[in-house]
């Protein structure tokens, strides 16, 4: 696909989730997290680049509920193939995870390869608890059976989606809603 402007992409796409629905989903996730972590300061690990819009808004919603967190980020991807896949790191978190509760924050749970690898890495670093918060979950049966979101906002159809952090070839992330190309 050639590079589209934001306007061209929106014109050629189906709107799946509007901004008010996204805002309500993030508020509900923040309510649940603030309840579960009350009185604690978890390590809030955003998985870049896709998590950026969700993580930023979620962080502010948590603060509005009196929930503190230690922010850090990581950039990793997992390429699965013949050998099951290997986590490829672009940036590792600098926060010590040993003896800490960790909240992994990502834009989408699709097949789960990256989240599985990152969660395992956090456990290997000595995290006592690793939970996953995602804005969206794709509805299909290809997700790894051992990867589940502890906090999830919106279920999406099994389509190629973009906007609100999700991309098409690193483009279209800044759209304030979630779209899919017309079928």
Percent of the chain clearing pLDDT 90 (strictly above): 79
Residue 6 clears pLDDT 80, i.e. is over it? yes
Interval 43-88: pLDDT, tens: 999 999 999 999 999 999 999 999 999 999 999 986 655 445 678 8
The residue to which tokens 């999700």 are assigned? 166
pLDDT of residue 85: 66
- Distance (Å) of CA 129 to CA 90, 125, 147: 24, 11, 14
**118 against 84, higher pLDDT:** 118
Interval 96-109: pLDDT, tens: 999 999 999 999 99
For each of the domains in the chain, give its residue range(s) and CATH number, in order of start. Answer: 6-73+96-181 (3.40.50.2020)
pLDDT of residue 72: 98
Percent of the chain clearing pLDDT 70 (strictly above): 95
Strands 101-109 and 129-138: parallel
For residue 38 the two structure tokens come to 């009350």
Report the run of H or E that residue 76 belongs to, with start and end: strand 70-79
Residue 118 clears pLDDT 80, i.e. is over it? yes
> Vertex 91, ends 85 and 94: CA angle to 5°?
120
Burial of 142 (0-12, 13-18, 19+ CB in 10 A): exposed
Enter the DSSP assignment of 159.
S
Task: Specify the pTM.
Answer: 0.93
Q: What is the mean pLDDT of the chain?
A: 93
**164 against 140, higher pLDDT:** 164
């Amino acid at each position: 696909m050639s590079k589209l402007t934001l306007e061209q992409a929106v014109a050629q796409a189906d709107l799946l989730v509007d901004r008010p629905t996204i805002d309500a989903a993030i508020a509900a996730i923040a309510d649940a997290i603030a309840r579960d972590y009350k009185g604690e300061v978890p390590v809030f690990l955003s998985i870049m680049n896709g998590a950026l819009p969700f993580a930023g808004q979620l962080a502010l919603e948590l603060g509005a509920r009196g929930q503190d967190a230690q922010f850090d980020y990581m950039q990793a991807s997992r390429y699965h193939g013949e050998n099951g896949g290997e986590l490829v790191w672009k940036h590792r978190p600098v926060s010590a995870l040993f003896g800490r509760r960790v909240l992994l924050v990502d834009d989408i749970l699709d097949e789960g390869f990256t989240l599985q690898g990152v969660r395992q890495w956090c456990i290997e670093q000595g995290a006592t608890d690793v939970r996953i918060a995602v804005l969206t979950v794709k509805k299909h049966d290809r997700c790894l059976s051992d990867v589940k979101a502890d906090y999830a906002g919106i279920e999406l159809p099994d389509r190629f989606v973009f906007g609100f952090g999700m991309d098409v070839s690193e483009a279209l992330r800044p759209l304030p809603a979630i779209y899919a190309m017309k079928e």
